[in-house]
Amino acid sequence: MLSFKNQTAFYKGKVRDVYTIKNKYLVMLASDRISAFDVVLPRPIPYKGQVLNQIAAYFLNATRDIVPNWLISSPHPSVSIGRLCQPFKVEMVVRGYLAGHAARTYQSGLRMLCGVKLPEGMKENDRFPKPIITPTTKASEGHDEDISREEIIRQKIVSEEHYLELEKYTLALYQRGQEMANKQGLILVDTKYEFGLYNNEIYLMDEIHTPDSSRYFYLDGYAERQSRGEEQKQLSKEFVRRWLIENGFQGKAGQAIPAMSDEWVNQISERYIELYEKVTGKKFEKNNLPIETEVIEKALHALV
């Protein structure tokens, strides 16, 4: 844990350490911790924090024309400095394909997800006629919960005016993310966004389009694999979730987290690096420099 001048708060999240400066700015350190089913797994993944931080910065800078965002600078490959926003207590999950949680819900026989009616006759990884938004509550601890647009507005979690804006931004960001993914030979299957208010204006917060918040398929061969009923080749954290499920863990009470071998940890790291290079089109440069307080303080001094 670091310490900064003018620090007013500290929060240790599942995968990030977040420092508040003067109740106005955030210093966000992306750790190598990895979580699944809202549980932090026992072993860190080398370079994961750097991958997440640099992918998020890449997409935040590429979407500023759609909606302003919190990011100001990144003085270290695993560190971001940005504006402190008042967060909306929902996550805006957008899905273009029947995958992950949506597919598991569908396979259970349900045809409603977060108040959205799902079409009949779909199979896993099929494309929806148009993207759907399936929001969740934003839990400070424990599991996020599915919720509908109607319930969000009825419970006044978000005002109707603001929520309709969040939906508009969510769909526009997803479309941009999809276009950028397609250029790299990928499909952005689903993702989530977090928003907040800064000076009474809606700002995009946190990370976007990373393997922790998104699922990607390879575009080449997608249609052929679907027609043959084969699994899609994907880049996401879903392979970690599936490994946990296969080993008897879904984050439920009484379940033990399976042991993670060195080989498995290195494989996860390689998958994260592969996703960085595939989604950005850039070569990943491993950074082993320590996170120095002085470097971050210098960047903060320019702000405060």
pLDDT in tens, 271-287: 899 889 999 999 999 99
Share of the chain above pLDDT 90, in %: 87
Tell me the average pLDDT across 67-87: 97
Tell me the average pLDDT across 184-190: 96
Q: What angle do helix axes 48-62 and 160-183 make, rounded to 10 degrees?
A: 110
Tell me the average pLDDT across 68-90: 97
Of residues 141 and 191, the one with the higher pLDDT is 191
Q: What are phi and psi of 272, to 5 degrees?
A: -65, -45
How far apart are the C-alpha atoms of 96 and 175, rounded to whole Å? 10
Predicted confidence at residue 104, as pLDDT, reads 94
Q: Where in the chain is the domain with CATH 3.30.200.20?
A: 7-85+263-301
Check pLDDT > 60 for residue 73.
Answer: yes
**pLDDT, tens digit (0-9, with 9 covering 90-100), for 17-61:** 999 999 999 999 999 999 998 899 999 999 999 999 999 999 999
Q: Decide: 94 and 170 in contact? Cβ < 8 Å.
A: yes
Predicted confidence at residue 235, as pLDDT, reads 81
Whether domain 7-85+263-301 has CATH 3.30.420.40: no
How far apart are the C-alpha atoms of 177 and 133, rounded to whole Å? 15
Confidence of residue 151 (pLDDT cuts 50, 70, 90): very high
Tell me the average pLDDT across 198-208: 96
Q: DSSP strand E in the chain: where?
A: 7-12, 16-21, 25-30, 35-36, 39-40, 71-76, 79-83, 86-87, 90-97, 112-113, 116-117, 127-133, 136-137, 186-198, 201-205, 214-218, 234-236
Check pLDDT > 80 for residue 142.
Answer: no
Predicted confidence at residue 140, as pLDDT, reads 60
Q: Decide: 188 and 216 in contact? Cβ < 8 Å.
A: yes
Instruction: Give me 236's structure tokens.
Output: 């996401």
Q: Decide: 9 and 24 in contact? Cβ < 8 Å.
A: no
How far apart are the C-alpha atoms of 77 and 290, rounded to whole Å? 10
CATH superfamily of 87-236: ATP-grasp fold, B domain (3.30.470.20)
Tell me the average pLDDT across 63-80: 97
Q: Where in the chain is the domain with CATH 3.30.470.20?
A: 87-236
